[in-house]
Structures are given as C-alpha cells and as structure tokens.
Amino acid sequence: MRPDPIQDPLLVFCPIGRDGKVGAELLRKGGLPARVIDSFDPPGGYAETGGLLVAEEAFDRSDPEPLFRWLRTQPPWSDYPIILLRNRESGVTAQVEARFGRLGNVTILERPLHLTTLVSAASTALRARLRQREAEAYLLERLRAAEALRETESRFRSLADSAPALIWTSDADGRVIYANRRHWEVFGEPAEGFTGTGWLAPILEEDRPAVESAWRQACLARQTLNLEYRVRDKDGELRWLHCEAAPRGGQGAYLGHVASATDVTAVKSAAELLERRVEERTAELAVANRQLLTEIAEREKMEATLLKMQRLEAVGQLTAGIAHDFNNLLQVIVGGLTMLERGGDPARAQARIQMMRQAAERGATLTKQLLAFSRRQKLAPQPVNLNEALESMRGLLQGAIGGSMALELKPGKALWPALVDPTQIEMIVLNLAINARDAMDVGGRLTVQTGNVTISGARVRPEEPEPGDYVMVAVSDTGSGMPPDVVARVFEPFFTTKPVGKGSGLGLSQVLGFAKQSGGGVAIETEPGRGTTVKVYLPRAPFAQADVQSSLLADGLKVAEKGGTVLVVDDDELVRETTSQMLGQLGYRVLQAGSGGAALELLSGRRKIDLLIVDFAMPGMNGVELAKLAAAKRPRLPILMATGFADHSAIQHLAADQLLTKPFSEAELAQRVRRALEDNIGATV
C-alpha cells in the first residue's frame, strides 16, 4: 500500500526493448502509478504527471527539447522531479553534465539497481510532486483571498466615501490607516491627514483625553466602543458626534478596528430643548396642582360646612320630636312623684311606680337608639336566637304597623345563633318595620324572614358584608319601592324622602351603623312599584349560649351572702347616692367618692376595698385614668366601669362584663357586682 494518496502517474521512458514496460510493471507492483511513454513529447504533456523516470539512452534516441522547454516554463511552485537511469561504466562528459544541469531536480540511479531502490526513489519523487501540488493549492487560495480582500477593501472604501458619516479603520496597534472622504467634507482637510493620530485633532481639548483613553483601552482589549464627544467643524461650529467601533478581522485574527461617527448635534439640541420644556411643564403642573389642591381644600371646607348645616337642619327637625318624647316621659315621672308625695292607696302607689319605671326604660331605649346612630355605643355581642327574638316582638311589630297591614314572620330552619347585642335587635327590626309601613298603603304586607347565608364573593357596595357565614334578617314590604338614585343615597345620614317633620333620615343609617359595628352588613333589593327588601347580615356565633335571663332574675336581687366593701366613684351626687343605696339594700358596705382624687385617697389607705365602681365621664380625671391608677395601687382589685355615654375608642378594650350601662336596674347591678367579685374581674387598663 502506498504511504501517500498519490494520484498523478510517474512517466517511464526507457526506449530499449521491453525495459519501459517492465519498469512500469515493477512500479505498479510497488503500489505506484506509472505510465510508459515513447518520446519526450508525451500526450497531455508533463503538467498532470508526478515525475519522469528516464533512461540515459533515451536522450540519444529522442529529441529532449520538449522536456527542456516545459521545465523552463513550469510555474514558480513547480520543481518537476526526474529520475535518470544510467550505466555504472558510463562516463560524465561536458555534454552529459550540461544535460544534467538543464534537467533541474534530477536524481541519478546507476544500473544495475535493486527493485527496492527504484521503488523508493520513485515514491520520493511522487511525494515531492504531491507536496508541490499542495503548495500550488495553498498559493492559489492565498491569491484568491488576497484578490477578494482587495475587492472587499475597494468596495468598503467606495461605500465609506459615499456614506454620510465619518468612517475610519485602524491597524492592530490602534493607529488609523484609513479615513473616508467625509472627513474632508466636515473638517475641510484631506482625509489622509486624519490617519495615525490625526483623527484626534478636531476633538475639543476637554473631551480629547477621555476619547483617546477609551480608544486605547478598546484596542488593547479588542472590544467594541461606544461614546459621544464634541468636535469643531471647518466653520468652527461645535458639533456632537456619536462614535461606535468594533474589532475587524476573521478566523480569530485581529486586524484592528473599524469605526464610524455620526453627527447627533440635532438630537442633542432636541433633547436639551425637550428637557427644558419638561422642566417648564413640570413647573406649570406644580403650580396647577397647588391651585387644584387649594380648590379641593376650599371645596372640602365648603362641603364640611354644608354637611354641618345639613346636620344642624336635621337636628333641628329632630328637636321637636325628641323633646316631645322626653317631655312625655318626664311628665309620667314628675306626675307620679307628685301623687306619691300626697300618699294614698298603696296599690295605686305601686301602679304609679310601675308607670314611672316604664317611662324611665323608654327613655333608656331612646338614648340607646341615639348612641347607635352616632356609632359610639359600646356593644355587648353574645349568641342570640333570632327566631325567638322576633317571635317575642310579634305584638310590638303589629302595633307599629297598625291593624290595616298584615304581618308575616318566616323563621328559618336550623337557624345558626347570631353574635349580636340582644338589646339592639328590637330597635333594628322596629326601625325597618316603621320604614316599610310608611312606604305601603292600606292593605300592605310586612314580611320578616330569617335564614342562614354563606357569602363567598367579594362585596359590590361598601355597605355589603365581607365573605363569611351570616345569620340574615330580611324585612320586606309591598310598598312603592325606590329608584336607583334614591338607593345610592339611602344610607347617608339625614337623607330622607319623607315630608319635612315626618322623618329625620336616621333609620337606615342607624341600621347600617349597628350592622357594621357588629361585624356584618346590609343589602337592599328594591324596584319602583314592586316593594323593598332590606337584608341585615349578622355574624354567625361559634356556639349557642344558654339563657342567662332566668339566672339574672333569680339571683340578681339576692342579698350577698358574704357581703363586701364597694367603692362608688361618681361626680353626680344623686347617681352616686342612688347606686350606694341599691348596693346597701343588696348587703354590701359602701364607700363614696365624688372625684378621682378622693377615690385615690381612699385607695391609698389601709381600708379593705373589694370592688371599685367608677363612672367614666368625670371632670378632671375620667374613669379610665382612675382605673389605671387604681390598678397600679391595688393590682388585684376588681373594677366595673359605669357609663351612659363614652368615646368608643377609650373603652373598646373593656369586656362586656366590665361595663355597667346607665341606666341600670337593681337586678343588673346585683348580677354585675356578684360576677365581678366571684370571678375577680379586673379592668384591662
């Protein structure tokens, strides 16, 4: 097998006998291509052959001039190999030596010779010819690449000279070797003057060091470059240039950088103009914003003033009704006291006392309604069965709507207990019933329904409840209904569609305030001419509560078995004395103080005090402040807070068992005091 993939044959020219054929056959057996010729002018010539094996006697039998002519004209890469066979006894004449010189790359083998020597010499000649072919291919490729480079360079320079930008190229050391015609157009000097470091000359002196440093670093790192700088053009005008440069070369070779710079003066000027306009516009907007804020503040002030005027107007409308109600209650109490002073039948006296108690309770209910409207009442929520509560109100509701209208109660099945203040249920339902009555004609029907409701979707209106489990009370009427514009305002305080003097607009606002304060919400379904349904959603209680009313009635008026000392603090002497007398009747020892300071003096002493009952609203030091100081002096002292009106934020941390809501009955007082002493309830202050 041949050591190299030789393709071109070795020409064999041995003209005596069968020497040529035998020699060619021997070469083929040695794995070398060979072809026999019979003259020095073979068909196809010598160009596509691997060399010539020629016997010395061939020069005497054939004209060698075609061979010599081809050898003289062979290309520069070619050094055609020739193997000359000559006899050992042949001499070397001047003619022979001249012939050897004209053959050039000749190898002389003397006969006789061994076959191995012949094959080795022939193989060497063919390999040499193959290397020459490879050199030819390489040189041709280099020539083509050089030609392509020259063509590319020519196209590049032609395009660069016609481009509306400054374009230049550098060598691997960063020196500029070409600058396009645009340099002459912009700077008025020949482009050749910008080669080397000449391209830096037009750059402003304050920008030049930074540009030169950035260019040098980009060339050393062989990285792209992107920067802006200022130059002076041929007219001396200042111009901004944006320069971008990238390495050039191919197949990993770095030949330098190619760069271009475009005039961005107009863009810079536009940006500066835009920035100035933005600043001016921002200043204008700031002035307009301040004016708008001023107008909004003035409008809010006017709206607040208008709201106050509306409230005052509504309060004025309410004054007559409220004064009438309270005067009626006071008339019952004052008249009853007058009759009691005169004496008389004990049975009639007891009846008068009962009437005065009912009048006082009605006054307390009216006060609770006003507090619920103002959202400042402290609620005491507990599990309540709404079905039972509504059933107990049947007579009250029928009386409120009158005999000309029908009442229907629809209690829900398996109703959950509602977590709500039981004292407010009657007020809420009664309020809705009165509104429904005023919206219906004779023969209308009022329906009160309860049910369990689970809300999963987000609320649509602010008065609606959040997602969760609720116990619903729905009050429906067959009245006139409401249009959308009325529904949109129906929960606004003091808004009413009733004639002047017939309504204050507090009803639905009061219902919403109670529902929201309880953790629920309200929804309205209505349509003009088809009636209205108001749904009140109250939070579901986690458990049912046993009825404590019986224990209150049974245990409330029992005389304390162990007794104890109670300190009563109230700035109102009549209230303080009345509370002390009720406690005395219940078997407790009582100490009195008319102010916080007096109470602290008693607490600082050594007397035993088992319970502190303090009024919240007192001048100087209120009940919460006194409770904090009392707790500091006697940490284990139980404290009850009595209040008829209180800032919700000031007492919202107190539990329901720690509050005594005025007016309170003797039974309520007894129950609260007994529980405080037995459970050792201390105010959380």
pLDDT of amino acid 318: 47
Spatial distance between the Cα atoms of 374 and 395, rounded to a whole number of angstroms: 28
Spatial distance between the Cα atoms of 638 and 626, rounded to a whole number of angstroms: 13
> CA end-to-end span of the chain, whole Å?
111
The secondary structure element, H or E, covering residue 456 is none
Spatial distance between the Cα atoms of 103 and 98, rounded to a whole number of angstroms: 9
Domains of the chain: 10-138 (3.40.50.2300), 379-539 (3.30.565.10), 565-683 (3.40.50.2300)
Residue that has been written with the tokens 């009664």 in this structure:
430
Contact between residue 518 and residue 538 where contact means Cβ atoms under 8 Å apart: yes
Encoded tokens for 284: 């204008």
Encoded tokens for 675: 């529980």
Spatial distance between the Cα atoms of 560 and 583, rounded to a whole number of angstroms: 10
Encoded tokens for 492: 């606004």
User: What is the separation of C-alpha 514 from the centre of its chain, rounded to a whole number of angstroms?
Assistant: 36
pLDDT of amino acid 554: 44
pLDDT of amino acid 683: 47
The secondary structure element, H or E, covering residue 112 is none
Spatial distance between the Cα atoms of 331 and 356, rounded to a whole number of angstroms: 9
Spatial distance between the Cα atoms of 179 and 195, rounded to a whole number of angstroms: 6
Nearest to 30 by CA among 113, 114, 120: 120
Angle, CA of 284, 289 and 291, to the nearest 5°:
95
Contact between residue 457 and residue 553 where contact means Cβ atoms under 8 Å apart: no
Spatial distance between the Cα atoms of 494 and 514, rounded to a whole number of angstroms: 16
Encoded tokens for 234: 């041929």
What are the strands, taking DSSP E only, across 39-105?
51-55, 82-87
Spatial distance between the Cα atoms of 545 and 661, rounded to a whole number of angstroms: 21
- Give average pLDDT by consecutive 10-residue segment, the chain, 685 residues: 60 88 88 91 90 90 91 90 85 74 87 86 90 87 81 78 85 87 86 83 90 91 91 90 88 85 88 86 87 85 63 51 61 70 75 74 62 54 88 79 86 91 78 84 90 88 90 92 84 64 56 84 89 92 58 46 84 90 91 92 89 89 90 90 67 74 84 83 52
Q: Which residues contact 241 (CB under 8 A, 6 or more apart)?
A: 166, 228, 229, 230, 231, 261, 262, 263, 264
Q: Which residues contact 498 (CB under 8 A, 6 or more apart)?
A: 438
Angle, CA of 87, 88 and 93, to the nearest 5°:
80
Helices (H), 440-537: 484-487, 507-518
